[in-house]
Amino acid sequence: MGKIVGILMFAALSMAGCNSEPSMDKSKLPQPVNVVLPSTAGDSTQIAAADALGRIGQPAVAALSESLADADPIVRLQSCRALAYMGAQAKDAVPALIRTLNDPEVVVREEAADALGQIGQPATPAVPALMQMLHGQKQ
């Protein structure tokens, strides 16, 4: 444990120069390979918007279904959560949610699976894709 703390302290100190100014341009560093989108991703306005759309229900399903293909993984994540909140009212989103089971972000795939489960019986067409996911396979 002490060794890890020492390494972290060394890394922090080596990136700070005089007067706490960075001595290296961190923007040129490569992305870590283990970066994971946290399940609490999104700022408070995105979370509030997803909550509102989920409460609006069926009239928001088409827009949320389209948002499942957004370039921003946080938008995809929050769209899944809003659809999950709706339950069976989101049945028209089942095809888009099935596609989302192959999202590059693990947490988005998890939320899509949860949304399909919350939709319940109308999500029956998702069973084969969910079984593949259960077995660790991608479509």
| Distance separating alpha carbons of residues 104 and 10, to the nearest angstrom | 33
Instruction: Look at the chain and report how many structural domains it folds into.
Output: 1
Q: What is the residue range of 73's domain?
A: 42-139
Q: Residue 5 — very low, low, confident or very high, per pLDDT cuts 50/70/90?
A: very low
| Residue 132 predicted with pLDDT over 90 | yes
The domain that holds 96 is classified in CATH as: 1.25.10.10
Q: Taking phi first (over 0 means left), then psi (-120 to 50 degrees means alpha), and beta for anything else, what does residue 136 get?
A: left
What is the per-residue pLDDT for 30? Answer: 45
Residue 17 in any domain: the answer is no
Which of 6-20, 23-37, 111-125 tops mean pLDDT? 111-125
pTM surpassing 0.85? no
Return phi, psi of residue 22, to 5°.
-60, 140
Question: Does 88 fall in a domain?
Answer: yes
Evaluate whether residue 13 is within a structural domain.
no
Neighbours of 124 (CB within 10 A): 11
pLDDT of 115 higher than 50: yes
- Whether 62 maps to a domain, the answer reads yes
- Across the chain, mean pLDDT equals 80
- Give percent above pLDDT 70 in the chain: 68
pLDDT digits (tens, 9 = 90+) for 44-63: 888 888 889 999 999 999 99
Please indicate, yes or no, if residue 131 is contained in any of the structural domains. yes
